Amino acid sequence: MSEKNISQQHFATFEAIRHFDAAGNEYWLARQLAVVLEYSQYRHFLPVIARAREACRNSGQTVANHIEDVLTMVEIGSGAKRQVEDCRLSRYACYLLVQNGDPGKSVIANGQTYFALQTRRQELADEARFSQLTEDEKRLAIRNELAAHNKQLAAAAKDAGVATPLDYAVFQDHGYRGLYGGLAAKDIHAHKRLKKSQKILDHMGSTELAANLFRATQTEEKLRRDEIQGKQQANQTHFAVGQKVRQTIEELGGTMPEDLPAPPRSIKQIEAAKKKLESKKQS
């Protein structure tokens, strides 16, 4: 079956069982999805839901936001109905369920292809929109994404044993040292001639922010994937990932992050100017 046919088939099937709540939010029901994915009995689908919950948790997402236990009504014959356990699913949860289903089923294999195609289409659309942004807009977008991923990184580090604020500061320094050729956070701060109250991430251009975003996402993934335990191991992992990102930049002929110029305006100044402009438009 061609990619086009796979996409059309699964789009029609998947969207056909979509529901909307009173607030207009889309959702799916696990029992209906199990039928679409050709599970003969719902109990056989429960292990798939369990794996999807774990994958959702490991990605740093709040499971309840994507997989919510609910009760739904089913017919039991002669027009009678009874309540049964079910799950309300987000689109992301449906993706996780398909990814964790039995790949031996053709409908699962095709579904995985469908979601891969949909994900890549979204990536291409995002890339096209991102390329049209100004440098300041790119900085804002990446800085916001980095702030979100730093929370996920902190959670992964905590699970690995990085418990106290001091532990986390040391952990972060190891990541910076790896990426910045031995420079710790305070060294980068001094190198950029920043005041004590200024944050180094707010004084990075989009290229430097992107390198730090890659460091954060890859470290979080490696901590969870390799089930790293212990502060020392977590620190070494963060340093090694930072060092690997630096090596990649060097191999590509890029400028080392510490040598990238600081932008004339901080993220805070850009945000303030943006709010001022929005305020003028509204008045």
Q: Is the pLDDT of residue 184 over 50?
A: yes
Segment 134-168, tens digit of pLDDT? 888 888 888 888 888 888 899 999 999 999 999 99
The chain-wide mean pLDDT, for the chain, equals 85
Residue 228 CA to residue 30 CA, distance in Å, equals: 33
Q: What is the mean pLDDT of residues 90-101?
A: 86
Give residue 1's pLDDT: 42
Give residue 5's pLDDT: 46
Q: Is the pLDDT of residue 126 over 80?
A: no
Q: What is the mean pLDDT of residues 168-194?
A: 94
List Cα–Cα distances, 270 to 96, 188, 196, 239, 257, in angstroms.
Answer: 37, 21, 20, 31, 21
Q: What is the mean pLDDT of residues 63-74?
A: 91
